[in-house]
Every structure is written in structure tokens, then in C-alpha cells.
């Protein structure tokens, strides 16, 4: 049975031919939609906020004050573990700043500082697995707590060492600067926190997570910690992304959702990072595996081509970027340090979360089991829909099944063809010595790979239309 409606030939209710005008209209609509979404995402990524650098209120985070710390630390030059810049100059600067906060802080809290120099060893299943030994490395540990003391604590972690060839502004001096200013803000609160906040400025992360191991396995304050926030970088500036949480303990994600002023989070980052595809790791792993403590891992990810290079300088990090990071960290730490869950975190530990932000405006978070139920319902609805299509009549059901299998086949062919074509282009680009030429400019990757993928996609679908749907049209006309 066939008929003509609006210029479209139909067989059993299935469209098999579309006029060129309609095709152009649909293509234009899809293009506008894709470009619109891409534009919104780009605006969201670039949308920071006006910095609060001139704020005189000491209990509020000031990017200006944090910027002064960042400038001073990076002016010391590269700070690899064991160097005078790391072991002496940076440690002395941190101690001087903490001492000023002790003398000028409010009456609601007390600050205790300790310089730890641990020695130890551990094995880690990373880059094929290896053992690591460290001796007399430096940790500056600061505990802020109510005057009457505290039995539980939340940890904020950063590292002040850098790779040998870089001033390490983003990795990780800016995090140290943010933590110093957060410490200053919390110390001036008039209302005491319920729990302690421990700030760990660790001096040996780059030589594979040694200082955090020394702290969590040897420091007496480690037994107080019930959760942690780790500040890291895989780029320079921009927004700090929550890319890893847990293990389990969904209340931590909920705490971030409720407290963060400028949320930016994605469970996709967690899935990719924990899959092992990215050959990197953070102190998050040490606290999780050796301390059995849940936490939140954040990192700056923009301008990754500058990361671990001599160009990772303080001037490349904007005040806006520092302000939004500080606002978020201050709010989340303050929330955790007054939460009921922190005192009895084991009671809230079960379950994992699916989470993502919507253009940086708010975060959607729900239990993974709810996500599984949604996925099963969608799959069941698809099966019911297909079964209904197949049961119309024997002849039309068979035709629909053939069309469906043909469409799936075309899609699979597109995937594999595009994959192997891009792989060939990538090999060619590598052979001419330009394998990372796209990294500094995102749109170069679109020229290199996106345009080729689009051409392949159009070619395959055009051939499919002419060879398959054209034949169906002729049969219907006959």
C-alpha cells in the first residue's frame, strides 16, 4: 500500500522519500540547533564573574588578596621537591602568612600550625605499577577549629611543589593561594564552625603523590578527617571542574550542589578519569586508597597546552577565575564544617550519584540507581514501540524491520568509516610532526577531524539514499 502526502512517498506509514526543499530545511534546522548549543556551552565556559578583589571584609573571599599570594609563590621560580625554593622559601612564606592570620584572626576559632617532614614508602598501581620511597619531604599543615576543639575535620589539600621547568602557577600555586585566603576568611567568622578544617599545603605531589601519603599515614591529625577537597589543575585558569567524587558517599555531591555558588561538575569526567584512559592521577587517590576517606576532586582544565610548561605563569590566571574558585571552596568547606553528615559520615556512605551542571547555572544530581531505572524504562519503551510497529501486519512489519536493520547498518558503517578515516588523518598529522598542533586552538581540530568526519557522513548517507531509498521509490511507483 502506498500513497503520496506532501511530496513524501510512504510505505506502511514509513517515509521513504523527501523533497530537496524539505531536506535543506531540516538540515538548516539541525545546523542552527548544533551551533546554538555549542554557542551556549562556549558562553558558559567563558562566563566567570566580576572579581571581588577590593573587598575589605576579611570574612569574604578576596581574589586580590589571593592574587598577592600567587604572585609571591610563583616569583620563587620552579619549586621541585628537594629544592631550596620548595623546602625553605615556600615553606617560610606559608608559615609567615599563617602566623599573620593567627595574630589577626577572630575570637571564635583557634589556629594551630605544624611542619611535618615524613619519611616512608608505598606501592601504587599507576603507569604499570611501581614502588615509591620518600625521605624528609615537607608538609605545612594548618588546623582551624572552634575554641573548644573538634572531634571531626574536613581536609582541604593542595601542593606547592612544581615540575622542574615551570613556575607552576596553575599547578598548583593558585590552589595554595586560594586556600590561604579561604583560611583567612574562615578565621574571621564570628560564628564558630562545628568541626575543624585542616589545610594541607603539601610539598611533594609531582614526584607521584608522596607528601599526601606521608600526611594521611603518619600525621596525628589524619585520624580526625572524615572528608576532603582536593584542588588540582590540568590546565590554566577558567572554571574549576568537579571531575571526581566518592567513593560512594552521595552526601558529598549533595553538599557541593547545595553550597557551591558557581557550580561546574560532570560525572562524565569521573567515568573517563577512573577508567584509566588518562595517564594521570591526583592526591585524591592517596586519600581514597590509603586513608579510606571520601572526597571531591576539582581541577582547572582550560588552556591545557600551558600545563607543566614554562608558560604556566601567574599573569595567565585571571582574577575572575580565582574569585569563582575561592567562592566555591569557601562555601563548600563552610557547609561541610557545619554539617551533621561529617560527624557520622559512615551512616551516609552508601550509594553513588549521577551529576552534571546545566550551563554552569545549577547542578542536576540523582542516585545512580534512579539513573539505572530511567535507562531501563527508556529501553522498555523502545522495545514496546518497535513491537507495536512490527505487529501492524505481517507484510508491513517485515518491511519496517528491514528498514530498521538497514538504518542501523548504515549508522554502524558510518561509525567505523569515520573512526578509521580520522585514525588515518591522525597518523598522517603525527608523521609530519604536527600531532598536537590542534591543542592550542580548538577549532583547528574541527578542520583536521570534524570536517573530514562530516564529509564521510554526508557521503555515506547520500550513497545510502540513492542506492536503497531510490530503489524503494521506483518499486512504489511501479
Tell whether 141 and 275 lie within a shared domain: yes
Give the domain-ending residue among 315, 349, 367. Answer: 367
* Residue 348 within any structural domain of the chain: yes
Are the C-beta atoms of residues 264 and 239 closer than 8 Å to each other? yes
Residues 268-306 pLDDT 10s: 988 888 887 888 899 999 999 999 999 999 999 888 889
* Residue 391 within any structural domain of the chain: no
Tell whether 182 and 263 lie within a shared domain: yes
Q: Which of left, alpha, beta for 365 (phi over 0: left; psi -120 to 50: alpha)?
A: beta
Q: In 3-state terms, what secondary structure has residue 38?
A: helix
Per annotation, catalytic residue among 145, 205, 206, 240 = 205
Active site residue 240: no
* Residue 56 within any structural domain of the chain: no
Tell whether 412 and 348 lie within a shared domain: no
Tell whether 362 and 445 lie within a shared domain: no
User: Helices 394-431 & 451-464, crossing angle to 10 degrees?
Assistant: 150
pTM here?
0.85
Q: Give residue for cell 549533595.
A: 254
Tell whether 208 and 114 lie within a shared domain: yes
Give the domain-ending residue among 348, 367, 386. Answer: 367
In the chain, the percentage of residues whose pLDDT exceeds 90 is 59
Nearest to 89 by CA among 98, 101, 79: 79
Residues 331-388 pLDDT 10s: 999 999 999 999 988 888 888 899 998 888 889 999 999 999 999 999 999 999 888 8
Tell whether 173 and 246 lie within a shared domain: yes
Residues 179-219 pLDDT 10s: 999 999 999 999 999 999 999 999 999 999 999 999 999 99
| Whole-angstrom Cα Rg for the chain | 28
Tell whether 83 and 145 lie within a shared domain: yes
Q: Hey, which residues does 230 pair with through a beta bridge?
A: 157, 297
**Domain count of the fold of the chain:** 2
Residue 427, domain extent? 399-470
Listing DSSP states for 423-475 in one string gives: HHHHHHHHHTT-TTTTTT-HHHHIIIIIHHHHHHHHHHHHHHIIIIIHHHHHH
* Residue 462 within any structural domain of the chain: yes
Q: Which of 105-109, 287-291, 326-330 has the lowest mean pLDDT?
A: 105-109
Tell whether 424 and 313 lie within a shared domain: no
**CATH value at residue 305:** 3.40.630.10
Give the domain-ending residue among 367, 382, 415. Answer: 367
Tell whether 198 and 256 lie within a shared domain: yes
* Residue 9 within any structural domain of the chain: no
Tell whether 330 and 465 lie within a shared domain: no
* Residue 327 within any structural domain of the chain: yes
Q: pLDDT at residue 111 above 60?
A: yes
Residues 59-83 pLDDT 10s: 799 999 999 999 999 999 999 999 9
Tell whether 340 and 300 lie within a shared domain: yes
Q: How far is the C-alpha of 415 from the C-alpha of 382, rounded, in Å?
A: 22
Report residue 262 as a C-alpha cell: 558557581
Instruction: Tell me the longest C-alpha to C-alpha distance in the chain.
Output: 94
| Res. 20 pLDDT band, cuts 50 70 90 | low
What does the pLDDT read at residue 265? 94
* Residue 15 within any structural domain of the chain: no
* Residue 94 within any structural domain of the chain: yes
Q: In 3-state terms, what secondary structure has residue 106?
A: coil
Tell whether 363 and 404 lie within a shared domain: no
Q: How far is the C-alpha of 224 from the C-alpha of 220, rounded, in Å?
A: 8
Amino acid at each position: 500500500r502506498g500513497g503520496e502526502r506532501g511530496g513524501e512517498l510512504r510505505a506502511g506509514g514509513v517515509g521513504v522519500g523527501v523533497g530537496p526543499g524539505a531536506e535543506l530545511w531540516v538540515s538548516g534546522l539541525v545546523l542552527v540547533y548544533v551551533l546554538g548549543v555549542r554557542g551556549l556551552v562556549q558562553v558558559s565556559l567563558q562566563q566567570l564573574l566580576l572579581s571581588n578583589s577590593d573587598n575589605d571584609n576579611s570574612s569574604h573571599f578576596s581574589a586580590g588578596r589571593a592574587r598577592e599570594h600567587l604572585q609571591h609563590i610563583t616569583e620563587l621560580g620552579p619549586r621541585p621537591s628537594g629544592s631550596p625554593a620548595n623546602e625553605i622559601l615556600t615553606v617560610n612564606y606559608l608559615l609567615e602568612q599563617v602566623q599573620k592570620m593567627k595574630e589577626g584572626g577572630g575570637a571564635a576559632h583557634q589556629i594551630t600550625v605544624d611542619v611535618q617532614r615524613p619519611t616512608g614508602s608505598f606501592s601504587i598501581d599507576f603507569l604499570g605499577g611501581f614502588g615509591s620511597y620518600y625521605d624528609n619531604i615537607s608538609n605545612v599543615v594548618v588546623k582551624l577549629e572552634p575554641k573548644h576543639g573538634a572531634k571531626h575535620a574536613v581536609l582541604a589539600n593542595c601542593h606547592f611543589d612544581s615540575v622542574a621547568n615551570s613556575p607552576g602557577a596553575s599547578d598548583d600555586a593558585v590552589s595554595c593561594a586560594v586556600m590561604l585566603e579561604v583560611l583567612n576568611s574562615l578565621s574571621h567568622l564570628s560564628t564558630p564552625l562545628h568541626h575543624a578544617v585542616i589545610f594541607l599545603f603539601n610539598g611533594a605531589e609531582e614526584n607521584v603523590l608522596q607528601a599526601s601519603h606521608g600526611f594521611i599515614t603518619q600525621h596525628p591529625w589524619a585520624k580526625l578527617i572524615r572528608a576532603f577537597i582536593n584542588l588540582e589543575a590540568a590546565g590554566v585558569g577558567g572554571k574549576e571542574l568537579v571531575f571526581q567524587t566518592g567513593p560512594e558517599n552521595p552526601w558529598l555531591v549533595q553538599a557541593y550542589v547545595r553550597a557551591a555558588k558557581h557550580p561546574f561538575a560532570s560525572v562524565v569526567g569521573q567515568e573517563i578519569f577512573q577508567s584509566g584512559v588518562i595517564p594521570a592521577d591526583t592526591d585524591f587517590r592517596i586519600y581514597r586508597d590509603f586513608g579510606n576517606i571520601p572526597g571531591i576532586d576539582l581541577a582547572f582544565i582550560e588552556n591545557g597546552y600551558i600545563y607543566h610548561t614554562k608558560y604556566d605563569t601567574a599573569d595567565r590566571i585571571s582574577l575572575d577565575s580565582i574569585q569563582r574558585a575561592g567562592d566555591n571552596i569557601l562555601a563548600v568547606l563552610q557547609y561541610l564544617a557545619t554539617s551533621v553528615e561529617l560527624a557520622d559520615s559512615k551512616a551516609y556512605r552508601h550509594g553513588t550519584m549521577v551529576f552534571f551542571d546545566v550551563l554552569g547555572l545549577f547542578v542536576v544530581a540523582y542516585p545512580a540507581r534512579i539513573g539505572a531505572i530511567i535507562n531501563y524504562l527508556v529501553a522498555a519503551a523502545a522495545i514496546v514501540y518497535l513491537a507495536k510497529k512490527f505487529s501492524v501486519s505481517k507484510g508491513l512489519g517485515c518491511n519496517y524491520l528491514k528498514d530498521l536493520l538497514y538504518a542501523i547498518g548504515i549508522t554502524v558503517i558510518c561509525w567505523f568509516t569515520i573512526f578509521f578515516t580520522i585514525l588515518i588523518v591522525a597518523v598522517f598529522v603525527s608523521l609530519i610532526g604536527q600531532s598536537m598542533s590542534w591543542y592550542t586552538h580548538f577549532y583547528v581540530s574541527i578542520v583536521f577531524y570534524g570536517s573530514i568526519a562530516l564529509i564521510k557522513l554526508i557521503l555515506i548517507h547520500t550513497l545510502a539514499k540513492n542506492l536503497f531509498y531510490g530503489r524503494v521509490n521506483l518499486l512504489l511507483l511501479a
